[in-house]
Amino acid sequence: MINLSLVIHNHQPVGNLDSVFATATERAYDPVLGLLERHPAVRLSLHYSGPLWDWLLAHRPDHVERLRALVARGQVELLTGAYYEPILVAIPDADKIGQIRKMTDFLRRTFGVEPTGLWLAERVWEPYLPKPLAEAGVRYTLLDDTPFKMAGLTDDDLFGPYVTEEQGQTVIVFGNVMYLRYAIPWHPVEEVVDWLRAQASVHPGGVAVMGDDGEKFGLWPGTWDLCWGAEAWMDRFFTALEASADWLQTRPLGEMAAELPPLGRVYLPCASYEEMMDWALPPHDFAAMRHVRRELKASGRADLLRFVRGGFWRGFIARYDEVNQMHKKSLWVSRKVHGMPEGEEKARALDHLWAAQCNCGYWHGLFGGIYLFHIRAVNYAHLIAAETIADRAHARREFWVWTEQGDLDADGREEVVLNTDRQALTFKPSYGGALVEWDWRPYRYNLTNTMTRRREGYHEELRRAAEEGRLVLPDQPDRPDGVRIKEPDIPTRLFHDWYRRAAFLDHFLHPDTTLEAFHRSQYGEQGDFVNQPYQAQVKEDPAGLTLILTRDGIVWVGDRPLPVRVEKRVVVTPGNDLLTVHYLVTVRSEPLGAEKGRLSPLRFGVEMNWGILGGGSERASLRILRGREKVARRPTDTGEIRDVTGFTFNLPHLMPVSSPSEPEPRPEVSFTLSAPATLWHFPLEAVSNSEAGYERVYQGTCTLLWWDLALEPGESWEITLQAALG
């Protein structure tokens, strides 16, 4: 006799579209409940994340009622977890414990159960986790077999639980068998049953564990027909399990944790599932790791393959500045919220903070992740809401203004935050004096929520397929060596930026730089200002804040270095939605080593990257002012317009928090200039992969304002830029 513990994890991220929740419920979550109702002898464990519980209770309470009946008759065990499905290693221990207790309390109230088993988001493990898990009341969890094998165990060692600890606090861990995770539901039912029968003879009384995403049972491409359509894989599998009752029992994981003594003590390294650790690697290493795995598998060296590991989850924080910004913002806000006095306001702020920790916007695999704009926007919305509650409690007045300085993003260099009751602006003096986060509090929105276009490991596969003629469009039949794409020109859209896309980035461009070259990020920069350090000074008074950012740098004129100073003064005031930036560009002397004479014109530009939620939709607009003429564009258009004195983006999907039912018009951000400029504008689009193929994904809109300056040594030029939100 052998036991089989199936664990199905159902999750949708905070802020996902209602249509996605509905489709997933219809095609995956509902069918699994129907399957269990038809096969009452099959027992298993289920986990639902908090955002999915919230949606089901609001939109599909019948699903919850059906599940309640399955739980009541002992067919389904419910697992706890961190409520909003964060990566536990990425959040403070107080938030780990708080989120787990929130889920446990919810399951206790809703289903009358006391869960002690936990689903660990993305199975991301680090060795110190047993302590906070135990403190949150968790007795057992399951991890992929990868860390067990990295610790020296083999497949044959994984048919029972192990105990692990941190500072004497213990947790039981089960190994999630890779064969079953890959075989269910893609291998023939008979093959899976034969495998289980073979294990029963070798591991009598043991347990084989399979835990995986519920979306693969109907929502992933091709799985609806496989699981529930003509092939009816799931019904045939459950029928086979019932027919094998004389040698196979299906048992919830909690029963196994209570019944089986640990096979031993184990200490597991930092790990997740195998694919996640590969995705966390830098692009070149990702491709190299896939090559190594293929070679070892082809040569039958499974004995070596189990010791081959990729990166670990925190690599995403190192690779993506935008992930790091959002992650460190969450830590910053967590400290503020936990410092509040106990009460309703703190509880409300905590719930916003925890919702913002939902993992899906903090990493990237072979699907959206960090490239899902709307998910990032919702993460920021909850962070801004939590911080505003904490800041309001600190200010104790309607209007406020203050500065915060410190190493917010944990890179060893100091950032400056200008806070008012309406805005919070995070400047990075060490990186071009750039504005890296611009939070508009009334709308809970980060206006600079964009993504730098990066090289991804899977881009090489796309390039190779294009060169070899193996690209397959949606309306074309599949082929064994084909690579699916959603648009025919996708391979030509692989642009990779050499600097981080932020706001108020200062450029000195070669005079022959074109819009196309700048769009492709393949152009010549004459100055050393874009990503280099500025000096910062803050002047603060009750009327407002002034941040003065200054750099004495070099602009190359021919082969001669020209000393140039750029100063930008940023002004914010309480009680309004204005931001004023005054630039002063000064040529400090003749080019070093050059004879006196008139200098060549300098082309100076100010780059802004705007996170426009819904910028790719028909409702989005970019209105450009040229004298008295108004030019209509869209955020996804590319173009050049001269003599521009201002422009306006609408924000089609934003509504004020205080009155969410407010009718049109939606809010806008308007930018005005004290002197005309040439405007370049284009969309920032990442090329991302998914189960359905490669596609362009809108990540924001870049605007570059530039001027040709003719300055003598000692001369200065100035411009004032003002942004109005409303």
- Other Cβ atoms within 10 Å of 390 Cβ, number: 23
Q: CATH number of the domain at 2-272, please?
A: 3.20.110.20
Amino acid at 633: R
265 - beta bridge partners? 163
What is the per-residue pLDDT for 20? Answer: 96
Q: Return averaged pLDDT per consecutive 10 residues of the chain, 726 residues in all.
A: 97 95 98 98 98 98 98 98 98 98 98 98 97 98 95 95 98 97 97 97 97 96 93 97 97 98 97 92 88 86 81 95 97 98 97 98 88 95 97 93 96 97 98 98 96 93 93 89 92 95 97 96 94 96 92 90 96 96 92 59 95 91 93 96 96 68 70 97 94 90 96 93 95
Would you say 408 and 415 are in contact if contact means Cβ atoms under 8 Å apart?
yes
C-alpha distance from residue 54 to each of 69, 351, 358 (Å): 19, 13, 14
C-alpha distance from residue 116 to each of 104, 123, 171, 208 (Å): 8, 17, 10, 20
Q: If we measure between CA atoms, which residue out of 700, 125, 184, 198 comes closest to residue 452?
A: 700
Q: If we measure between CA atoms, which residue out of 31, 27, 1, 2 comes closest to residue 12?
A: 27
What is the per-residue pLDDT for 286? Answer: 87
| Tokens representing residue 378 in the block | 């919702």
Q: If we measure between CA atoms, which residue out of 620, 603, 383 comes closest to residue 515?
A: 603
Run of H or E residues at 338? helix 321-338
Strands, E, within 370-446: which ranges?
A: 401-406, 415-420, 423-428, 434-440, 445-446
Run of H or E residues at 699? strand 695-709
What is the per-residue pLDDT for 361? Answer: 95
The CA-CA-CA angle for residues 261, 263, 269, to 5°, reads: 125
The CA-CA-CA angle for residues 608, 609, 613, to 5°, reads: 140
DSSP 232-294: -HHHHHHHHHHHTTTTEEE--HHHHHHHSPPS-B--PPSB--HHHHHHTS-HHHHHHHHHHHH
What is the per-residue pLDDT for 656? Answer: 62
- Other Cβ atoms within 10 Å of 38 Cβ, number: 12
Max Cα–Cα distance, the chain, nearest Å: 98
Considering the segment(s) 444-453+497-725 as one domain, its CATH architecture is Distorted Sandwich (2.70)
Q: Is 688 helix (H, G, I), strand (E, B) or coil?
A: strand
Alpha-carbon distance of 16 to 36, in angstroms, equals 27
DSSP state of 419: E
Sheet holding 140-144, edge to edge: 117-118, 140-144, 169-176, 162-166
Q: Is 494 helix (H, G, I), strand (E, B) or coil?
A: coil
Q: If we measure between CA atoms, which residue out of 110, 14, 103 comes closest to residue 57?
A: 110
Run of H or E residues at 67? helix 61-72
What is the per-residue pLDDT for 368? Answer: 76
Strands, E, within 499-543: which ranges?
A: 503-509, 535-541
Residue spans per domain, the chain: 2-272, 444-453+497-725, 459-493
Active-site annotation, residues? 122, 213
Alpha-carbon distance of 663 to 553, in angstroms, equals 49
Q: Which residues contact 72 (CB under 8 A, 6 or more apart)?
A: none
Would you say 353 and 675 are in contact if contact means Cβ atoms under 8 Å apart?
no
